[in-house]
Homo-oligomer: A and B are copies of this chain.
Amino acid sequence: MELKRREEDYLEAIYEISKRKGKARTTDLAEYLGIKPASVTEMLQKLAAKGLLEYHRYSGVVLSKKGEEVALSVRERHDTIRELLKYLQVPPDIAQRDACIMEHNLSPITIIQLKKFINFIKNCPKNAPIWLEHFKKYSETGEFDCGEECEKI
């Protein structure tokens, strides 16, 4: 069953809140998502009907196995994007927000490439590769002031 981006948002939010509080309540979710409780109730009932969570009126909500799988996969995409943006020197709060926008609908192939790029940076034999340092400097100053060694980059 194909999930809508907003459904993924809810599942992710429920996952994050449950991690801290054991279950997610309507008001928590409303605050987390920046919407009104009435809207949350409605969506929770829809997600329950799809078997993605356990819903009992007035009790808060817990993800089903299936729901948790979805939430984890969304979160993984989210983190991948956030990490990429971090390397591209996007400020953390903005990276966080923009990852929320991109985490849905991106092609799996794109996500795979982002991951590869991140691993390329992380696992480089010389860890923290020099060119990344150079990009950081370039990003701040607009200058390639790297002198001699630049020949090798």
Please give the residue numbers on chain A whose beta carbons come within 8 Å of chain B beta carbons, in ascending order.
85, 88-91, 94-95, 97-98, 101-102, 105-107, 109-110, 113-114, 116-117, 120, 123-126, 129-131, 134-135, 138-139, 144, 146, 149-153
Contacts and interface: CB of A to CB of B under 8 A. Distances in A.
- How many copies, total? 2
A97 B102 CA distance: 13
A56 to B, nearest CB: 35
Nearest to A146: B125
A94 B105 CA distance: 12
A26 to B, nearest CB: 27
Contacts of A130: 152-153
Contacts of A126: 150-153
Nearest to A95: B110
Contact of A149 (B88, B117, B123, B152): B152
* Closest A-B pairs by Cβ, 7 of them: A152-B152, A131-B131, A88-B113, A90-B113, A120-B138, A94-B107, A98-B110
A5 to B, nearest CB: 10
A153 B135 contact: no
Contacts of A139: 113, 116-117, 120
A85 B98 contact: no
Contacts of A117: 88, 135, 139
10 contacts: A85-B113, A91-B109, A95-B110, A116-B138, A117-B135, A117-B139, A124-B144, A126-B150, A131-B131, A152-B152
